[in-house]
Amino acid sequence: MLQRPAGGTIVTIASVLGHLGASHVSDYAAAKAGLIAMHASLRAELSAMAKGPDAPLGVKAVRTLLVKPGQLSTPLFEGVKTPNGFFGPVIDPIHLASEIIWRIESGYSGVLAMPLYARWVEWLAVLPYSIQRFVRWLSGIDRAMSGFGGSKDS
């Protein structure tokens, strides 16, 4: 990709849980947070590489797309009680895949966060802790996995 003038697109699939964390999914949330950090480091490396005197031919044409969806309607989380269908609607994976493909084909580089709340969720961390707790309670995020025994396939 670095050697091709056309570059390419690197897609990292993370989750809003990489920013939020939630009760009963610490392993999943930690893995997604790691992907978000890895993606940020990759973007920084590509940027630094592009400024160097021996920059590979296609480095400026390499695009990055970080995907941070909310809950997807996949077998992995089948049976999860969606905390709040209005604030956190479940995403159809086909719709998400279409959005990813559209961004790749259009040469987009950036972040794809769905649904709407996913675009703003990282700002929750700058709010006072009491407000964070209230928002978490209101959304039901920490109650969604209670009683979850795994998907039918697990």
- Catalytic site includes residue 28: yes
Out of 28, 60, 108, 117, which one is annotated catalytic?
28
In angstroms, what CA-CA distances link 136 with 31, 62, 81, 149, 151? Answer: 21, 37, 15, 22, 24
pTM (two decimals)? 0.83
Query: What is the pLDDT, as a whole number, of residue 31?
Result: 97
Question: What does the mean pLDDT of the chain come to?
Answer: 87
In the predicted model, is pLDDT for residue 50 greater than 70?
A: yes
- Catalytic site includes residue 108: no
Per-residue pLDDT tens digits for 67-122? 999 888 777 777 676 766 666 678 899 999 999 999 999 999 999 999 888 888 88
Share of the chain above pLDDT 90, in %: 47
Residue 51, SS3?
Answer: helix
- CATH architecture of the domain covering 8-139: 3-Layer(aba) Sandwich (3.40)
Per-residue pLDDT tens digits for 114-128? 988 888 888 888 999
